[in-house]
Structure 1
Amino acid sequence: MKLEIGDKAPDFRLKNQDDIEIGLKDLNSKVIVLYFYPKDNTPGCTIEAQDFTEKLDDFAKKGVVIVGISPDSPKSHKKFIEKQNLKHILLSDPTRSVATNYGVYAKKMMYGKEVFGIVRSSFIIDKNGEIKKVFYNIKAKGHAQDVLDSL
């Protein structure tokens, strides 16, 4: 089930790169850009994460916090952040339950085969926990700018 504009964002509590649990309610004093990506240190995911980091000051000026979620472990996230010099929060969703609740763990085509996996997607969530914008099945390159332009 895909989420739509106006829906209440599903709540969650996940561990970040420092093994500290963070929940949606911990972040809702700001507007949140929540983006889901398949895997740390892969080409597309690296491009997307770097783009969000490069534009972090522009997002901050608008009162927006950036949070990435993938099934990778907190340890993997920490290595990814260090290797790529990322400046935003990454959360670990190893059971893919949060991804499922957001409608981004789904069937997709990969190398000509249908598989289940994380469909690269983003959500803009306001301070009240309401979904203001959805981006499903996006391309990594240039997506951070698209999100910024839509704010």
Structure 2
Amino acid sequence: MSQRLAAGDSAPDFTLNDAEGNEVTLASQRGSSVVVYFYPAAATPGCTTQACDFRDNLASLGAAGYRVLGISPDPVAKLASFAEQESLTFPLLSDADHAVADAYGAWGEKKNYGKTYDGLIRSTVVVDPDGKVALAQYNVKATGHVAKLRRDLGIDR
């Protein structure tokens, strides 16, 4: 398992393609707080629930000074379809080789139906305007995660 990040760590920079094929870097987000969330697969029930929850809370997160970036190992075409189908207006980024997930500690051993395998661990890392980790959460639940994140960040509804 890759090493998990903790508050105060430098957030690893990355360059990934979004659903439209444009490059997005973490460095380009400097000056803003960024919620970087990792999800296993676009258009699956849990990931759809989580993405729509971020979508529905995007205005209040933005008003509190947070941008949202979703990262999965899905190819760009699948991300584009997912974003269109669910009216997602924040960037979804393709980490096909899971190098970014690995750098963030979001790739590792999972157990499902009695089988053990390596895969993406549903995780959220909040990066402050200076590029430092403000909050890192691993093995988060898809349902209710954004509400918990808002509470942890002190964002009132």
TM-score category, normalised to shorter length: over 0.9
Q: Which stretches of structure 1, 4 residues or more, deviate above 3 A after TM superposition?
A: none
Of residues 89, 92, 99 in structure 2, which corresponds to 1:90? Answer: 92
Aligned to 1:40: 42
Query: What residue identity is the alignment partner of 1:103?
Result: G
C-alpha distance in structure 2 between counterparts of 1:132 and 1:51, whole Å: 21
Aligned to 2:24: 22
Q: Which structure 2 residue ranges, 5 or more long, are not aligned?
A: none
Aligned to 1:120: 122
Deviation of 1:18 after TM superposition, in Å, equals 0.7
CA RMSD of aligned residues (A): 0.7
C-alpha distance in structure 1 between counterparts of 2:94 and 2:131, whole Å: 20
Give the 5 Å matches for 1:53-92. Answer: 53-92=55-94
C-alpha distance in structure 2 between counterparts of 1:25 and 1:145, whole Å: 27
Query: What residue identity is the alignment partner of 1:52?
Result: F
Q: Which structure 1 residue ranges, 5 or more long, are not aligned?
A: none
Query: What residue identity is the alignment partner of 1:68?
Result: G
Aligned to 2:134: 132
Deviation of 1:39 after TM superposition, in Å, equals 0.2
Residue aligned with 2:100, SS? helix
Aligned to 1:104: 106
Deviation of 1:110 after TM superposition, in Å, equals 1.4
C-alpha distance in structure 1 between counterparts of 2:127 and 2:23, whole Å: 19
* TM-score, with structure 1 as normaliser: 0.98
Percent of aligned pairs sharing the same letter: 38
C-alpha distance in structure 2 between counterparts of 1:110 and 1:45, whole Å: 16
* TM-score, with structure 2 as normaliser: 0.94
C-alpha distance in structure 1 between counterparts of 2:140 and 2:54, whole Å: 14
Aligned to 1:3: 5
